[in-house]
Amino acid sequence: MAFLESTASIILLVIGAYLLFNCCYLLFFSLVSHKKAKPLQELLPLDRRFCVLIPTYRENEVILETSKAAINHAYSGDFDVFVIADGLNPETIQELKTTGVGVLEVFFEKSTKGKALAAALEALPEDAYDVVAILDVDNIMGQGFLQEVNRAFSAGYKVVQAHRTAKNMDSSFALLDACNEEINNSIYRKGHYAIGMSSALIGSGMAFDFLYLKKLLTGIGETVGEDKELDFRIVKDQEKICYLDNVFVYDEKIENAKVFTQQRTRWIAAQIEFLKKYAFEGFVQLFTNGNYEFLNKVVQAFLVPRILLIGVLGFFFLASLVLPVGPSPLFWATLLLMLSAALLIALPGKFYRNRQLWKAVVQLPYALLCMVKALFQIKKAKSSFMSTPHTAKAVSNEI
């Protein structure tokens, strides 16, 4: 009996140390996200030629609205908009062509966003464009997006991530998803960039040097997380990813539990995929090249998703009230307080002025159940392209 108790205590202490690291990591970057980043210093002012790519998978209605908004975006230089059409109806393709939008049709046995982007770049002439901007099918570029991204390239960056924010917050789940995205922005983008590290990519609202992106996409394969794969490849090259906190791209937020579960299934599958793929290489990069940014990306894949982390800490706190082994209830309560502080500090102040915020908080237990369900559907993400469905919503979240 004593042996079992001591073994259980050791296991719980290891788990406690791991979860403590999670909370410390989140709290640190949440705090430094309030540090102001250095302003851009333009070294080579130039109006670069932009290619705006919008990959779409069977989204016939939404892409018509998105592409029209994109082609009417104001920019002092030249830019073209191309829709990467995967599974669009012939009539949709014809209508797109009448608006002045370029259409690049792709056909895959198994569709992925990474393969679609790689095929599009192969089809475009290398000398026609300097920069590629990537939008999701529901994204709307905020005012000055291309102009400010161009300034970042003038400052010497080859990869830029803009501030993706909610297009809509018209349901409690959409507001919860919007809060989650802003917390991600603070911790993984703004916080990192403020202390001189690379921002994390988010999958859209990002821009790349044309030739560099073409190189990055070589052999991208059928990964469910092409943005994370690009993250690892960029930090391996020791290139810095610029984050533009005041340059917005509006993104549709999820309105129901079914779509939330589907999206999180894909995200968790990608996290596990890259943890397995790069965990060992993270230490190799650190000790052979001094590349701490690469190891940091591995650490991010090692972290428990935040909604699950809330549930896990809550479970261990309640269990510690009745179990005589492992860390005390005070330890678990402290971790819960640290996590709460990290999330509250990372969430922008404007959300606290939203009277519907409490409705989003009430949805947290339901969201936790969805995350648990997502854990059991990971294999599904590997065998099928679990795209997130969208609607043609107008921007209702002016910042």
Interval 366-391: pLDDT, tens: 788 888 787 777 766 655 555 555 55
Nearest to 308 by CA among 362, 377, 364, 227: 364
Q: Mean pLDDT, to the nearest integer, of 73-84?
A: 96
| CA-based torsion, 102, 220, 127, 135: positive or negative | positive
Per-range mean pLDDT, top range of 4-13, 95-104, 141-150, 306-315: 141-150
Q: Mean pLDDT, to the nearest integer, of 167-191?
A: 90
Report the pLDDT value the prediction gives residue 193, as an integer from 0 to 100.
97
pLDDT of 40 > 50? The answer is: yes
Distance of CA 3 to the CA centre of its chain: 45
Measured CA to CA, the distance from residue 370 to residue 376 in angstroms comes to 10
Q: With beta carbons less than 8 A apart as the criterion, state whether 200 and 189 touch.
A: yes
Mean pLDDT across the chain? 89
pLDDT of 28 > 70? The answer is: yes
- The per-residue DSSP string of 356-369 comes to THHHHHHTHHHHHH
Q: Mean pLDDT, to the nearest integer, of 113-136?
A: 94
Task: Quickly tell me which residue has 């788990």 as its tokens.
Answer: 15
Report the pLDDT value the prediction gives residue 382, as an integer from 0 to 100.
58
β-sheet bridge partners, residue 249 = 141, 164
- The per-residue DSSP string of 162-214 comes to EEEEES---SHHHHHHHHHHHHHIIIIIIHHHHTTPPPPP-SSSEEEEHHHHH
Measured CA to CA, the distance from residue 201 to residue 213 in angstroms comes to 13
Q: What percent of the chain has pLDDT over 90?
A: 64
| Residue 79 main-chain phi, psi, to 5 deg | -155, 150
Report the pLDDT value the prediction gives residue 398, as an integer from 0 to 100.
45
Report the pLDDT value the prediction gives residue 315, as an integer from 0 to 100.
93
CA distances from 114 to 110, 118, 225, 229 (A): 11, 6, 8, 9
pLDDT of 201 > 80? The answer is: yes
Element (H, E) at 159: strand 159-166
Q: Mean pLDDT, to the nearest integer, of 137-146?
A: 96
Q: Mean pLDDT, to the nearest integer, of 217-229?
A: 88
Measured CA to CA, the distance from residue 377 to residue 337 in angstroms comes to 31
Q: How many residues does the chain have?
A: 399
Measured CA to CA, the distance from residue 51 to residue 43 in angstroms comes to 22
Q: How many CB atoms lie within 10 A of CB 69?
A: 16
Task: Quickly tell me which residue has 């089809």 as its tokens.
Answer: 123
Measured CA to CA, the distance from residue 346 to residue 187 in angstroms comes to 7
The model carries a pTM of 0.90
Q: How many CB atoms lie within 10 A of CB 104?
A: 19
Q: With beta carbons less than 8 A apart as the criterion, state whether 145 and 234 touch.
A: no
Q: Mean pLDDT, to the nearest integer, of 157-167?
A: 96
Question: What does the pLDDT look like over 243-299, one tens digit per residue?
Answer: 999 999 999 987 766 777 777 788 788 888 889 999 999 999 999 999 999 999 999
pLDDT of 117 > 60? The answer is: yes
Report the pLDDT value the prediction gives residue 383, as an integer from 0 to 100.
56
Q: Which of 2-6, 62-66, 106-110 has the lowest mean pLDDT?
A: 2-6
Two tokens, residue 5: 């108790």
